[in-house]
Amino acid sequence: SQQGEEDPQALSIQEGENATMNCSYKTSINNLQWYRQNSGRGLVHLILIRSNEREKHSGRLRVTLDTSKKSSSLLITASRAADTASYFCATDLNQAGTALIFGKGTTLSVSS
């Protein structure tokens, strides 16, 4: 079943601009993760934020989590053409050993 809903579905920006993607989910979570997928490839883990955290940084990535609103955002600063990919949020429910439930994804296109 689908858990997350990303917004926007597609985003086109110029190099150097910031890209913000949002994710909403439905049930309580243990943590929320963001993944990147290049076209036709597998997914790569970007960052994880736990339910008791509100913000996390990793390089040019900034993730926020609002459990009261059941939402998260991923900010990519100073975007590059190489950031062009699809980005998915995924929720890890409060059950050990279970799969992640993915949102619909945001397709980011960064033009030089």
Interface with other proteins (CB under 8 A), residue total: 26
Find the binding residues for other proteins in span 2-31 (CB under 8 A): 2, 30-31
Is the distance from CB of 76 to CB of 61 less than 8 angstroms? yes
Q: Check residue 30 and report its DSSP letter.
A: S
Binding mask 47-66 for other proteins (x = CB under 8 A): -x------------------
Per DSSP bridges, beta strands 71-76 and 85-92 are unpaired
- Measured from the CB atom, the residue of 42 and 59 that comes closer to other proteins is 42
- One residue of 45, 54, 57, 80 binding other proteins per CB under 8 A: 45
Q: Which stretch binds other proteins (CB under 8 A): 14-22, 38-46, 59-67, 77-85?
A: 38-46
Phi and psi at 101, nearest 5°, equal -110, 125
Kindly tell me which residue out of 23, 76, 101, 110 binds other proteins, with binding defined by CB under 8 A.
101
Question: At a CB cut-off of 8 Å and minimum separation 6, what does 87 contact?
Answer: 6, 21, 34, 35, 36, 37, 46, 74, 105, 106, 108
